[in-house]
């Protein structure tokens, strides 16, 4: 009884070929959140290690700005302060954005490797069809993306509320001290304290946010792999068809093999009709020998056959008047040790030379066209 899943039910895992074909088109299992999570890890590491350096530069910039504000005319201080601010911002951007971008590229490489394809950029009717666009907008993948975004937003909001609630008291005290303290005497000290508190708060925010991103990325990676495999699942009929496409239809392979055999048989029969002499044993094996001293000083095995092919070769030789020698031992020896197109084995030179001379006399009418050797011959 046929298997109930033998039809179009896609219950089988995708084959290696189907996975390769999907990869060539740019379809691979990857998580969009994995790159963001890795970027957060990089930012956390940078902030934990380079915050002191950045804090020192910000503190120096703050001190310089406050000093210029009370000691230098505004028109003179503005270009210098502006240039220092631009330099500071560019340095901060280089230290944060460049590593994050490298982390994003690394995340893509770790997940998919190198994929060079233009299939995703080719215009298709589906991309321009508004109905298909609406279907994709409300597809399961987009709904899952929306759910992930909401979960991340709620978790990050909870983290911000929890961290800031614990820091509002200390921040209020520092701001109050900064408001009532002389700028020149306590300004740098208050600025350093505010920066230290900001560093602690920011580190907590980035740390907990990184944990959320890693958790979501881990879950999304599992989900992406599951949906990717599910999308590529195959029915047993698909697998059989793929096998046919890869290996060729068995019926066509059989037909090609049969045509090849027929072609080879026709060549062997033709070679028997044009040979100098035909060796038989008497009906199971047949070997056609050619001897052309101008082309090769040694007789050559033009063709060999067994069974029905041997009988056909003998019939063609008789039709064309080719001398036929029945020698069971010699025929078996050449059939077992020689190949079509090769010269006869060296130990058989003398025996074959005598047969070639007899065949020459037989063609001249000085000997019968059929000969039966009573002696057995072997190597």
Examine residue 262 and state whether it is found in any structural domain, yes or no: no
Contact 325, 371 (CB under 8 A): yes
pLDDT at 35: 79
pLDDT at 182: 57
Asked if residue 159 and residue 273 are part of one domain, the reply reads no
Examine residue 254 and state whether it is found in any structural domain, yes or no: no
pLDDT truncated to tens, each residue of the chain (379 aa)?
Answer: 444 445 457 778 888 888 888 777 777 777 778 878 888 888 788 777 776 677 677 777 777 777 776 676 767 667 777 777 788 788 777 777 787 788 878 877 777 766 666 655 565 555 555 665 666 666 777 788 888 889 888 988 998 888 888 777 676 676 676 665 555 555 566 666 666 777 778 888 888 888 888 888 888 888 888 888 888 888 888 877 777 766 666 666 777 778 888 888 888 888 888 888 999 987 789 999 998 888 888 889 999 998 889 999 999 999 998 999 998 888 888 888 888 888 888 888 888 888 989 988 888 888 888 888 755 555 4
Residue with tokens 């094996």: 285
Examine residue 260 and state whether it is found in any structural domain, yes or no: no
Q: For the domain that residue 327 is a member of, what is the CATH number?
A: 3.40.1690.10
- Tell me how crowded residue 64 is: count the other CB atoms within 10 A of its CB: 14
Domain containing 344 equals: 269-372
| HSE-CB for 89 with a 13 A CA cutoff | 6
Asked if residue 214 and residue 320 are part of one domain, the reply reads no
Examine residue 20 and state whether it is found in any structural domain, yes or no: yes
Tokens matching residue 143: 């709904």
Examine residue 85 and state whether it is found in any structural domain, yes or no: yes
Asked if residue 277 and residue 154 are part of one domain, the reply reads no
| 3-class secondary structure per residue, 36-64 | HHHHHHHHHHHHHHHHHHHHHHHHHHHHH
Query: Percent helix, strand and coil across the chain, each rounded to 5?
Result: 70, 5, 20
Asked if residue 317 and residue 223 are part of one domain, the reply reads no
- Nearest Cα to 66, choosing from 189, 248, 249, 234? 189
Torsion angle of C-alpha atoms 75, 81, 83, 84, degrees rounded to 10: 170
Asked if residue 191 and residue 100 are part of one domain, the reply reads yes
Residue with tokens 């991103």: 213
Q: Bridge partners of 301?
A: 289
Asked if residue 322 and residue 210 are part of one domain, the reply reads no
pLDDT at 3: 47
Asked if residue 210 and residue 275 are part of one domain, the reply reads no
**Phi, psi (5° rounding) for residue 372?**
-125, 115
Q: Considering Cα of 247, then 251, then 252, then 253, what sign does the dihedral take?
A: positive
Number of domains in the chain: 2
CA distances from 94 to 35, 54, 199 (A): 19, 12, 19
- Nearest Cα to 279, choosing from 319, 329, 229, 233? 329
Asked if residue 165 and residue 124 are part of one domain, the reply reads yes
Asked if residue 52 and residue 156 are part of one domain, the reply reads yes
């Amino acid at each position: 009884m046929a298997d109930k899943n033998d039809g179009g039910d896609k219950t089988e895992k995708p084959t290696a070929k189907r996975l390769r074909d999907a990869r060539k088109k740019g379809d691979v299992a990857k998580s969009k959140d994995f790159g963001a999570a890795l970027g957060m890890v990089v930012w956390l590491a940078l902030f934990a290690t380079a915050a002191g350096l950045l804090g020192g530069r910000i503190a120096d910039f703050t001190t310089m700005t406050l000093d210029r504000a009370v000691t230098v005319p505004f028109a003179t201080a503005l270009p210098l302060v502006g240039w220092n601010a631009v330099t500071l911002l560019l340095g901060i951007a280089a230290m944060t954005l460049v590593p994050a971008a490298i982390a994003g590229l690394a995340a893509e490489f770790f997940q998919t490797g190198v994929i060079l394809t233009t299939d995703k950029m080719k215009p298709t009717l589906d991309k321009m069809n508004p109905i298909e666009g609406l279907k994709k907008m409300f597809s399961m993948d987009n709904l899952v993306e929306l759910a992930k975004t909401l979960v991340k937003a709620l978790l990050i909001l909870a983290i911000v509320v929890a961290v800031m609630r614990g820091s509002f008291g200390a921040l209020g005290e520092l701001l109050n001290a900064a408001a009532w303290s002389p700028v020149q005497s306590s300004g740098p000290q208050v600025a350093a304290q505010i920066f230290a508190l900001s560093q602690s708060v920011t580190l907590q925010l980035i740390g907990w946010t990184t944990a959320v991103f890693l958790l979501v990325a881990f879950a999304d990676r599992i989900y992406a792999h599951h949906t990717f495999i599910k999308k590529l699942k195959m029915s047993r009929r698909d697998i059989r068809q793929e096998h046919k496409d890869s290996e060729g239809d068995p019926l066509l392979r059989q037909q090609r093999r049969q045509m090849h055999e027929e072609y080879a048989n026709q060549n062997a029969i033709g070679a028997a009709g044009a040979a100098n002499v035909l060796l038989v044993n008497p009906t199971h094996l047949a070997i056609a020998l050619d001897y052309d001293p101008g082309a090769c000083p040694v007789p050559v095995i033009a063709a060999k056959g067994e069974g029905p092919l041997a009988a056909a070769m003998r019939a063609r030789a008789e039709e064309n008047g080719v001398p036929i020698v029945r020698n069971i031992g010699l025929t078996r020896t050449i059939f077992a040790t020689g190949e079509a197109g090769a010269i006869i084995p060296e130990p058989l030179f003398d025996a074959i030379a005598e047969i070639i001379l007899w065949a020459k006399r037989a063609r001249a009418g000085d000997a019968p066209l059929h000969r039966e050797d009573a002696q057995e011959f072997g190597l």
